[in-house]
A and B are shown apart, each in its own frame.
Chain A
Amino acid sequence: MYKRYHIETAAAILPSTKIGKFQIIREDKCLNCGRCQELCIYDVHKRDAVDPRRMAEPVSYLCKNCFSCIQNCPQQALKMVLSEESKNLGNSYWMPEKIHTIWNEAEEGKIPVYGAGYRGPFKGSGFDLIWTDMSEIVRPTRDGIHGREYIATAVDLGTKPSWIAHFERLSLPRLFQIKIPLLLDTDGLRLESKNLVMAIVKAASELRTLAFLDIQSYTDELEPYLESIALRIPLESIAAINRAPWKEVNLIEIILSQKFRIKELEQALAELRKHNPQALLSLGLASPFPLEEIFTQFQEKRVDVLNLHANGQGRTLDGNDFIADSIKRLHQDFIKKAARDEVTIISKGGIAAAEHVPKLIICGADAAVVDIALLVAMGCRVCSECRPESCPAEIQKLDPELGRQRIVNMVCAWRDQLLEVLSAMGIRDVRRLRGEMGRAMFYHEIERESFESIFNNGGLRK
């Protein structure tokens, strides 16, 4: 029977994420008249359950900033301030707004929809310097909510030959299809927690994608999900490892340290090929440029995937480049060599919102790897320093089932938002978005194009 890819969402409420952006303060001069209760349509104000003559403490996290109670209190006894708890979430990249958004997505699996126009700054840094395009006159890509599931989101990982050299020696390419252009990563904040690993791996299995896992974190409980695990092994420990999982997984990623020996890598690749000829081999490195050299050197050996590792804020370790820019260059380099389809390019780090996925793909990636966002979906607040023993969200105690559902919800919301972006452009397959830089507007280019002739270096024109 025909079955189309479908993500099953369900409400997954996590009390530790009930942090409002606003705090309502009821001052002592309150006369308990109850006007605020009449006016509030969000149930922030209620009478005290025990003593109904009194108003209860406001339930601040339900407040939606409408000012109705504040502007109508006969005693001017109500005040609204920004909630300290909300302000302290995250950091300059993982801003409180982003964390709240992921929490909402993880709870319901729905696209964030609000009224009123865009309220943020004109531009930012990184992904916030890119706008995606739309088409005014297109063939409809979807009708309503259900039709849009006909937009294809699957991508193939692996190597495709650029051309057929010898028909007689033609072998089918090794490809692994993931159903959404998103891979999950258990690396995140480098927390050791079986519960969290289990939640992520199960989610990957359900979503029919892969979850990256360090070999040290592998436990026998994960065996039923081996198909959905992308095993990550540091180059120097490959020779020493003789455990079952790496013979059965679909993708193995070799982590290269900054100073590795080519010889050693060559041996490792041969070894892995011998024991697991079906697995795709991936190289993970923090800098895009050696990656490209390595790939050229190993073209015969066919590394299938290049995974550019950036830090949590999307910056690569050398040169402090932003991933979008590094991916752009890497993609273009491969195009120049007419070898782009011979490798799959993915990137990890800094993917913090749904819009980052299509933007990274527009810059040339085949798919994005999500790490910290998964932890945020499970309640993480991206504190400046992660101390598991004093985690405010007690994330290590999370029920893996709840964690799995929240990740699935978040990914569903992200997939649906990807569909919005694709349908606005009239694109019916995410593979056609890769490297389509003409379908995006980049701040510096468009600013120059529009205003350079008007303003000369910000100076005055006669």
Chain B
Amino acid sequence: MKVLVKGNAGPRFLNSVGKFRVSIGEKCFHCGLCVELCPARVFERKEGFNRVFVTSPARCLGPRCQQGSFFCQKKCPVEAIEIETDPQWKTLGDFRWTPDLILTTWQQAETGEIPQDGLEYRVGNSGGGFDNFDFLIKNSSSPSDQEIDKIDTSISLNRRREGKKISVPVPWYGAGMSFGSISLPVMLARAMAAEAWSTFTSTGEGGYPEELIPHGPHIITQIATGLFGVSEETIKRAPIIEFKYAQGAKPGLGGHLLGDKNTPQVAIMREAVCGTSLFSPFPFHSVYSVEDHKKHIDWVKIMNPESLISVKVSTPSDVDMVAVGSYYAGANIIHLDGGYGGTGAAPEIAKKNIAMPIEYAITKVHRFLLEEGVRDEIVLIASGGIRTAYDIAKSIALGADGVVIGTAELVALGCVRCGNCESGRGCPRGIATTDSELEKQISPEWGAHRISNLYSAWQKQLKILLCQLGLKNIEELRGRTDLLRRINE
């Protein structure tokens, strides 16, 4: 599809982070052979200098170069070049978002292409769930462009007979991230990318900034337990309304915005008094049953009869019952948010221990909805730790229709997952902050381009994968657990 976002998507930092450390020893007599040899342009002979500099060590391909005729270390006449794994590499990322995944997500955001330099861009290193699945691919040859073009990656977001038909060309949309948890430029970037791709992004529970109104047809209004920033207007404006019962990163716990984060801007948006602590309780204090839940949905439907209803829940052991309850209450989308989901701030104990990983929840809910005979009337969306195109495909193979993307979009904007979104002035990289100075690091256009590029790279990967699996569209992949295998057991 034609993507509307244009412009620079290059890195916004002077130096890149790479896997290898390259250094030139004292023996070097600056012959410049390495400058000529290196296809990655690691070395440079700067204007006006009679020396060779290692200006871009992050680009070094490492030992994979060895076979090539251009391997600098072997060709150097005085063996002055040293290449080793950069100890700094180990400080980047974590088990779920490995340094490889962070770097390849940055690459995809820059180029819009599938990473080619040998870094692992498909799975992380958590040792279970998605990271322990692989596809059983019969035909691993790369399909032709013509074949790829024929593949359809769109999914429908309303499978009921009644109501508006909405479909998205890619099996994902953006997660709820509130104003306050992320900056306005980041919200705008996400909205512009959603618009370019005819998909959606969600307001989160922090109000609906005016600046987003031009992108309205692609913005989901979230109604969460604190009802911050929810008004008749914002409900009427939205094509999809998302009820957030719980969040995967803090299932069963409320949110708490500290007083000093409740700046005048945030307070206006949330229709609250600035400087006060704001609580988003758990649960909805008016919902103690499926009937109460239906009442909520009916209430929104009266204000906005055209809207689709999504119900976002986390993953307790009875998540299957919750899903069926939502179906009977009239929801179009049941959205499961697993424990790996992102957050602006959540107790570590909750992220790690409360509620089950998303892989189990998808399987459980999909099966139960099938047994109940209602699977084809509701859309099952998974979120919480969907990092790559392969995670998307695996979620769908386990039984989801599509996914919701959060953290990966922020990584595309340069997030390093340091986890300090909530401390002090907020995100030092200008993403999860409302600090007027820090947020200037990101322009909405640049951000939209990066996110859009990531989408583009993902769609290509999905299309190729579907070709290799012998499928014509993404909907055929749903529930095809027979196409999965476990890597270790």
Chain A residues at the B interface, C-beta cutoff of 8 Å: 22, 39-42, 64-68, 70-74, 76, 79-82, 101, 111-123, 130-140, 143-145, 354-355, 359, 417, 420-421, 423-426, 438-439, 441, 446-447, 449-451, 454-455, 457-458, 460-462
| B15 x A71 contact (CB < 8 A) | yes
Interface size on B, residues (CB 8 A): 99
- A116 touching B132 in the complex, CB below 8 Å, given contacts A66-B429, A457-B489: no
A-B contact count (CB 8 A): 257
Q: Complex: how many Å from CA A457 to CA B220?
A: 43
| A115 x B432 contact (CB < 8 A) | yes
Q: Which residues of A contact B25 (CB under 8 A)?
A: none
Contact string, B419-452, partner A, CB cutoff 8 A, digits 1/0?
1111111011100100000100000000000000
Chain B residues at the A interface, C-beta cutoff of 8 Å: 13-17, 57, 87-88, 90-92, 94-97, 125-129, 131-132, 136, 245-246, 248-249, 251-254, 256, 277, 279, 281-283, 285, 287-290, 293, 313-314, 316-319, 322, 339-357, 359-360, 363-364, 384-385, 407, 415-425, 427-429, 432, 438, 481-482, 484-486, 488-489
Other than the given A134-B316, A144-B279, 14 more pairs (CB < 8 A) read A42-B424, A67-B418, A67-B429, A76-B57, A116-B342, A119-B96, A120-B126, A133-B354, A137-B293, A424-B354, A446-B360, A447-B360, A451-B486, A457-B489
Q: Which residues of B contact A359 (CB under 8 A)?
A: 353
- A81 touching B482 in the complex, CB below 8 Å, given contacts A423-B253, A460-B136: no
Q: Of B13, B277, B363, which is within 8 A of A72 by CB?
A: B13
Q: Of A114, A139, A439, A449, which is within 8 A of B422 by CB?
A: A114
Q: Complex: how many Å from CA A449 to CA B253?
A: 27
Q: Complex: how many Å from CA A394 to CA B341?
A: 41
| A113 x B345 contact (CB < 8 A) | yes
| B416 x A66 contact (CB < 8 A) | yes
Q: Select from chain A the residue with minimum beta-carbon distance to B126.
A: A122
Q: Complex: how many Å from CA A71 to CA B430?
A: 14
Name 26 A/B residue pairs within 8 A (Cβ), A-sorted. Answer: A22-B91, A64-B418, A64-B419, A70-B88, A81-B91, A82-B87, A112-B349, A114-B346, A116-B342, A116-B421, A117-B351, A118-B249, A118-B352, A120-B94, A121-B95, A123-B128, A131-B354, A136-B245, A136-B322, A137-B290, A417-B347, A420-B350, A421-B350, A423-B282, A424-B354, A441-B317
The 8 closest A-B pairs by CB, nearest first: A122-B128, A115-B421, A424-B252, A134-B252, A458-B489, A119-B94, A71-B13, A118-B351
Q: Complex: how many Å from CA A359 to CA B14?
A: 47
Residue of A70, A74, A116, A420 with highest tally of chain B CB at under 10 A: A116
Say how far B13's CB is from chain A's closest CB, in angstroms. 4
Q: Which residues of B contact A449 (CB under 8 A)?
A: 360
Q: Complex: how many Å from CA A71 to CA B106?
A: 14
Q: Complex: how many Å from CA A118 to CA B247?
A: 13
Q: Complex: how many Å from CA A79 to CA B418?
A: 16
Q: Which residues of B contact A137 (CB under 8 A)?
A: 245, 283, 287-290, 293, 322
| A122 x B353 contact (CB < 8 A) | no
Q: Complex: how many Å from CA A450 to CA B320?
A: 13
Q: Which residues of A contact B125 (CB under 8 A)?
A: 121
Say how far A219's CB is from chain B's closest CB, in angstroms. 37
Say how far B76's CB is from chain A's closest CB, in angstroms. 21
- A122 touching B129 in the complex, CB below 8 Å, given contacts A70-B88, A136-B245: yes
Q: Which residues of A contact B357 (CB under 8 A)?
A: 122, 131
Residue of A82, A140, A438 with highest tally of chain B CB at under 10 A: A140
Q: Which residues of B contact A421 (CB under 8 A)?
A: 349-350, 353-354
- A74 touching B485 in the complex, CB below 8 Å, given contacts A82-B91, A131-B354, A138-B283: no
| B438 x A455 contact (CB < 8 A) | no
| A81 x B347 contact (CB < 8 A) | no
| B251 x A134 contact (CB < 8 A) | yes
| A41 x B428 contact (CB < 8 A) | yes
Q: Which residues of A contact B343 (CB under 8 A)?
A: 115-117
Q: Complex: how many Å from CA A74 to CA B15?
A: 8
| B314 x A136 contact (CB < 8 A) | yes
Q: Which residues of B contact A461 (CB under 8 A)?
A: 482
Say how far A84's CB is from chain B's closest CB, in angstroms. 10
Q: Which residues of A contact B287 (CB under 8 A)?
A: 137
Q: Complex: how many Å from CA A68 to CA B437?
A: 14
Q: Complex: how many Å from CA A451 to CA B394?
A: 13
Say how far A371's CB is from chain B's closest CB, in angstroms. 20
| A424 x B251 contact (CB < 8 A) | yes
Q: Which residues of B contact A120 (CB under 8 A)?
A: 94-96, 126, 352
Q: Complex: how many Å from CA A133 to CA B481?
A: 26
Residue of A73, A134, A425, A460 with highest tally of chain B CB at under 10 A: A134
